[in-house]
Amino acid sequence: MNWKAFLAMLARDVRVARRNFIPLLLQTFLQPLIFVFIFGRVMVGSGYMPAQYKSLLVPGILAISMFASGIWAVAMPLIAEFQISREIEDRLLAPMKISWVAVEKVVFGALQALASGVVVIPASWILLRPGVEFSLHRPLVFAAVALLVALFSASAGLVIGCTIEPPQTGLLFSLIISPMVFFGCAYYPWHALDAFPILQKAVLVNPLVYASEGLRAALVPQFPHLPLSIAFAGLIAFDALLFTAGLRQFQKKAVN
């Protein structure tokens, strides 16, 4: 393994992200934080939502932000560099197995997803306080769930970035991202679907469910949530599945 080349590519991605810091910030955080403000602050403040909804919302918003951030960081550059400009060619010609270029993309995407988590937690706490109750009483569990969520987001970005053709980018949001977010138990706990048994089972194919519920179990265990073991199993399974599928797709795209 050529770590020098791998780290140089990571440094290249960090340089580009730093250069685009402000647009990146707006693109990743604006929407979730507006959601936090409207549902957690306005709706709760006006009495349409119970006060405890504030705390319930935080893990879901964290999951969505990390998910969006990981996907953006990996899928968008790949769609452009692979399919439009072929800019990735220089990195594919670096003295390293080409699958490591994909691994680097996933590592960078996961780092960006984790960074977005680090920003969203205090930002939503500031927006929602007083009355928001979450605790990091099990920091290792939280860190493990967050890491798996970050890897799942970046791996999903790898699959999307190597599959979606540039003209279909618009469909990505309406057909993939939006349904995943709304059926991902981010704005409500999975148990809220008890009244909709078919839907409750159907949403289990959505990896974001395990992300939201896992973060809920780690941050606000006072609310109903899927058992941690199930959340971990779901996240590990989807991480492995998406990463393997993404890697295959990447190799197919990279070599003619």
Partner 1 sequence: MGVGIRTLDLRKTYLSSPVSPPAGDGVGTAPVQPKRRKVKTEIVALDGISLEIQPGEIFGLLGPNGAGKSTTVGIFTTRIKPSSGHVWVGEHDVWAEQVAVKRLIGVVAQRPNLDSSLTAREILVFHGAYFGLNSHERTKRAALLLDRFKLSDRANQMVRGFSGGMLQRLSIARAMMHDPQVLFLDEPSSGLDPQTRLLLWEIVREYNDSGKTVLLTTHNMEEADALCQRLAIIDHGRVIALGTPTELKASVPGGFILRLRFGHHSPSLVEQLKGLRGVRKVNAAQNSADVYADRGGSLLSEIANLASAAGVALSDAHISEPSLENLFLHHTGRGLRE
Q: Which tokens sit at 177?
A: 């991202």
Question: What's the closest the beta carbon of residue 173 comes to partner 1, in angstroms?
Answer: 23
Q: Which is nearer to partner 1, 3 or 47 (CB)?
A: 3
Return the closest-CA partner of residue 249 out of 119, 182, 134, 159: 159
Q: Which is nearer to partner 1, 9 or 62 (CB)?
A: 9
Question: What's the closest the beta carbon of residue 87 comes to partner 1, in angstroms?
Answer: 5
Question: What's the closest the beta carbon of residue 154 comes to partner 1, in angstroms?
Answer: 18
Q: For binding to partner 1 (CB under 8 A), which residues are involved?
A: 2, 4-5, 8-9, 11-12, 15-16, 19-20, 85-87, 89-98, 255-256
Q: How far is 136 from 139, CA to CA, in rounded Å?
A: 5
> DSSP string spanning 117-147?
HHHHHHHHHHHH-SS-----SSHHHHHHHHH
Q: How far is 148 from 217, CA to CA, in rounded Å?
A: 14
Q: Which is nearer to partner 1, 7 or 30 (CB)?
A: 7
Q: Which is nearer to partner 1, 94 or 204 (CB)?
A: 94
Compute CA distances 234 → 45, 61, 217, whole Å. 35, 19, 14
Return the closest-CA partner of residue 6 out of 91, 117, 123, 122: 91
Q: Which is nearer to partner 1, 20 or 178 (CB)?
A: 20
Compute CA distances 20 → 23, 82, 125, whole Å. 6, 20, 26
Question: What's the closest the beta carbon of residue 2 comes to partner 1, in angstroms?
Answer: 7
Question: What's the closest the beta carbon of residue 62 comes to partner 1, in angstroms?
Answer: 28
